[in-house]
Structure 1
Amino acid sequence: MTADPDIAIAGRPRDVQANGLRHRVLEYPAEGRATARAEVVMLPGITSPAATTDFLARPIAARGFRVWSPDIRGRGDSEVPPAGGYAMTDYAADVAGLVQALGLPAPIVIGHSMGARIAAAHAVLHGGADHPLLVLVDPPVSGPGRAPYPTSRDSFLAQLHEAKAGTTVEAVRRFYPKWPERELRLRLQVLPSCDETAVLESYEGFHTEDFFDHWRRVTPPAVLIRGADSPVVPPGAAAELAAANPAVPVVAVPAAGHMVPWDNFEGFIAELLPRLEAAAP
């Protein structure tokens, strides 16, 4: 990645071996505390390396939590697996391996988009019932027999190819018109690190793997936070999610699409922080 000298990432990079791969993880120590209130693992989306979560990790660390944000395999500075390996079971096993390698006792897990699907799969396949909090932010509900993911494969490829060829902030803004300038510039910087096979196979998984298979088995304490204007979790899907797992609340952040905290940071933080505080008083 080519660093933008005007964008400082507060997370401290660490390389961790887990599930047969080397993973780059950003660590945000708990501010003002010798011991963190709780450990938080933050899982980003399909084309979002760990650095893109910096603006979220900072305010969480400022509340006394230690935050860990990994580059998902095939993105950022994490390794690319030698032959595919981008199923939800692969991603969930990575998280389990990272949690074990870092020695994190029952961390809070927050996932956005594909990261939310990974978080749910990890909770169901590896986490067990004993978890302090699971936060799923606008997970793709597409899958077999369901409406396709609303962003096309060609759109993902166009963004990726433009970034690798060299593009501008204004060109990125046409895909994300609500984003702050810093986050647009950061995406411009880190998107070229995403492996094309990782993106394409993960995108295919949005249509071949059913999020509801894991969602039905998610147990409290948990919450699903969607953007009120999100085409990824539209109102009909939100109602289906609530019916399929009534034990877990489904809440909406106003004036936000799929990129919920980027679109409405204050609205998202207002939903998130009280739940973090309750999970680790």
Structure 2
Amino acid sequence: MVFVAQDGVKLVADRGGDPAAPAVIFLHGGGQTRHSWSRAVERLLAEGFQVINFDARGHGESDWSPTGAYALSDRAADLAAVTADLNAPFILVGASLGGATSIVAIAQGLKPAGLVLVDIVPEPDARGIDRIISFMRGHPDGFASVDEAADAVAAYNPERARPAAGRGLMKNLREGNDGRLRWHWDPRILETQSEFHQSVVREAAHSLESSSDLSVLLVRGLSSDVVSDAGVEAFRRQVPRLQLLDVAGAGHMVAGDRNDAFNDGVIAFARRVLGQGKPAMPSKITA
């Protein structure tokens, strides 16, 4: 289906499950598409949840902003449009840029029942963020083949198995008029990525302090170079009720590295927060 943002940008989404059921809304990371959540979506639908999984503006099949409007405030407004017609409680699951978007949306008045932040905190490790941006800035002329793109991904994340050069990876690529393959996102997005280094998310995160009825789960890959112990503790001082799920054998791309542990953690959280009658999660667990 398609949602239309307040500035006319069209957001392509997959939506499934009973429209009256509690909902889980997925927000992918920068440079990704909604397909990064595919296996998690399947599990949640099987568990009886309603799921909305959309391509962020400038990514995947969603429109590129004609004015280059890619600030977190623009993305938060998009999330408000996606949730506008929901008649059921919902949680947000946001990875990296999607998590930052979720925090800003809550600061702007969005009222989810719960928030899952996937490997992002208000005080991320600048070295990890710089490495992500360097990867996104790389290969501006694209790739001659899917194999070349797979090589680039493998070089960025050598601890993960090299991605198969098939349909899965092609969902993150598009063919230009010159016949070369480029990542399926607008390069102008990089002009706003410095927000990670500024105060936007940190300031917005103050809204989490006052939202005492909002459950917050941080899912961290134990091999992450973005979320450090210091970043976790700083966030916990701000949100003492913070729950932490540490996932062994996973880096920044937690859902891709350990999808089984990620799915189990998110489902347990969703059941508890959305009134499924399951016992509360401990404040810190390791999968």
TM-score bracket, shorter-length normalisation: 0.7 to 0.9
The Cα offsets for residues 176-222 of structure 1, whole Å up to 9 and x where unpaired, read as: 34257469852343242211002x12322222344222223223212
- Residues 23 and 71 in structure 1, CA contact (< 8 A), matched pair in contact too: no
Secondary structure at 2:256 match in 1:
helix
What TM-score comes out, normalization by structure 1 length?
Answer: 0.82
Higher alpha-carbon deviation: 18-27 or 257-266: 18-27
1:202 aligns with 2:186: no
- Describe how 1:238-253 pairs up with structure 2 within 5 A: 238-253=232-247
Among 105, 130, 145, the residue aligned to 1:166: 145
CA shift in 2, pair 1:71/1:95, >3 Å? same
SS of corresponding position for 1:250: strand
CA-atom RMSD in angstroms: 2.5
In structure 1, how many angstroms separate the alpha carbons of the residues matched to 2:141 and 2:193?
Answer: 16
Q: Is the 8 A contact 2:27 2:93 kept in 1?
A: yes
Matched, 1:123 2:106: yes
Distance 1:242 1:184 in 2: 41
Question: Matches of 2:269 and 2:153 in 1, distance apart?
Answer: 33
Is the 8 Å Cα contact of residues 255 and 263 (structure 1) preserved in structure 2?
Answer: yes
Q: Which structure 2 residue ranges, 5 or more long, are not aligned? A: 174-182, 277-287
- Asked if structure 2 preserves the Cα contact closer than 8 Å seen for 1:25 and 1:68, the reply is no
The gaps in structure 1 that reach 5 residues or longer are: 1-13
Contact conserved, 1:230 with 1:257, CA < 8 A, in 2? yes
Once the two structures are superposed, residues 67-112 of structure 1 have per-residue CA deviations (whole angstroms, 9 ceiling, x without a partner) of: 1111101111211222221111111011001211x44544211101
Superposition pairs of residues 171-190 of structure 1, within 5 angstroms: 171-177=152-158, 178=160, 181=163, 186-190=168-172
Question: What SS class does the counterpart of residue 240 from structure 2 fall into?
Answer: coil
Query: Structure 2 length normalisation: TM-score?
Result: 0.80
Distance, in Å, in 2 between the alignment partners of 1:196 and 1:277 is 38
Alignment of 1:1-281 (within 5 A): 14-30=1-17, 36-100=20-84, 102-128=85-111, 131-139=112-120, 141=122, 147-148=126-127, 149-151=129-131, 153-158=133-138, 161-163=141-143, 165-168=144-147, 169-177=150-158, 178=160, 181=163, 186-191=168-173, 192-198=183-189, 200-218=190-208, 219=211, 220-280=214-274, 281=276
Q: For residues 62 and 161 of structure 1, what CA distance do their matches in structure 2 show?
A: 41
Inter-partner Cα distance in structure 2 for 1:270 and 1:103: 25
Shift of 1:29: 1.9
2:254·2:262 contact (CA, 8 Å) conserved in 1? yes
State the percentage of identical aligned residues. 23
